[in-house]
């Protein structure tokens, strides 16, 4: 059994085991049973219970007093907010998002690949969103324009993993399109199934040439001028990343 699934106390093994439990809590329902977490993590029941109690004392895990089930804790929210407040790509774009939303008349978002997940870091709502928000959501990377740009520019190992986890109907398109997605100044993906909004996205390229994220406009109108939207996004992204490089 791998070390990070073992019952060994202390050291890096304990940290890895705690991270495994946090990942399971993040992926499943809001609150989960101790026995289910032990089974899914391949940890013993006593080890799982001990780690969850320690995480709960630190505020990283919460326990429902009625059901005794476990969920993610409020301390993670505080750390997340502090992290986002200091993230260069978010702070660089902050002055531009509202103006972009007003000029385009649609929702504008900032996306970033975190491991093999696509995360919406920030969002300024347009009128088309109503009460729906997906800020801080985790999306399927290869479905939208932002995820495709970021995945195509990612290292080969990350790209391969993203293609493998993508819906089967997207894999062939992704493999054939990677070079074009990676070189695109902007990318448009029309509205998809189940009401998934269309997107126009541009890469956020740092002064050193790294891709720090994607600036994305949601495009619910199939007749919208994607090239014009892409032009607005490109100019804002370039200005923001120039400013950020001097911050």
What is the band of 128 on the pLDDT scale with cuts at 50, 70, 90? low
How confident is the model at residue 207, as a pLDDT?
86
How confident is the model at residue 133, as a pLDDT?
57
**Chain segment 42-89, per-residue pLDDT in tens:** 999 999 999 999 999 999 999 999 999 999 999 998 988 888 878 888
How confident is the model at residue 37, as a pLDDT?
96
How confident is the model at residue 113, as a pLDDT?
93
Distance, in Å, from the CA atom of 215 to the CA atom of 235, rounded to the nearest integer, reads 11
Average pLDDT on 232-241 reads 95
Which domains can be identified in the chain, with CATH numbers? Answer: 3-77 (1.10.10.10), 87-245 (3.30.450.40)
Average confidence score pLDDT of the chain: 88
Pick the closest to residue 188 from 162, 156, 226, 150 (CA basis).
226
Maximal C-alpha separation, the chain: 60
Contact yes or no for 217/129 (Cβ under 8 A): no
Average pLDDT on 23-50 reads 94
5 pLDDT above the threshold of 60: no
104 pLDDT above the threshold of 50: yes
CA distance to 1, 72, 74, 77, 230, per residue, from 69 (Å): 27, 11, 15, 19, 46
127 pLDDT above the threshold of 80: no
Distance, in Å, from the CA atom of 121 to the CA atom of 14, rounded to the nearest integer, reads 29
Instruction: Give the predicted TM-score (pTM) of the model.
Output: 0.79
What is the band of 129 on the pLDDT scale with cuts at 50, 70, 90? low
Q: What are phi and psi of 138, to 5 degrees?
A: -115, 125
């Amino acid at each position: 059994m791998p070390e990070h699934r073992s019952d060994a106390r202390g050291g890096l093994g304990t940290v890895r085991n705690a991270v495994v439990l946090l990942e399971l809590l993040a992926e499943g329902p809001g609150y989960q049973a101790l026995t289910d977490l032990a089974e899914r993590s391949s940890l013993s029941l006593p080890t799982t219970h001990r780690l969850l109690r320690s995480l709960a004392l630190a505020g990283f895990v919460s326990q429902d007093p009625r059901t005794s089930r476990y969920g993610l804790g409020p301390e993670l929210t505080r750390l997340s907010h502090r992290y986002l407040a200091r993230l260069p790509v978010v702070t660089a774009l902050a002055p531009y998002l509202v103006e972009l939303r007003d000029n385009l008349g649609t929702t504008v978002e900032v996306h970033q690949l975190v491991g093999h997940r696509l995360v919406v870091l920030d969002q300024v709502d347009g009128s088309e969103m109503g009460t729906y928000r997906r800020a801080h959501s985790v999306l399927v990377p290869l479905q939208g324009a932002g995820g495709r740009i970021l995945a195509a520019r990612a290292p080969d190992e990350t790209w391969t993993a993203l293609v493998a986890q993508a819906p089967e109907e997207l894999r062939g398109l992704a493999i054939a399109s990677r070079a074009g997605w990676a070189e695109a100044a902007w990318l448009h993906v029309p509205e998809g199934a189940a009401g998934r909004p269309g997107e126009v996205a541009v890469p956020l390229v740092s002064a050193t040439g790294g891709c720090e994220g994607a600036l994305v406009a949601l495009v619910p109108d199939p007749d919208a001028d994607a090239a014009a939207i892409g032009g607005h996004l490109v100019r804002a992204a370039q200005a923001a990343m120039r400013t950020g490089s001097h911050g």
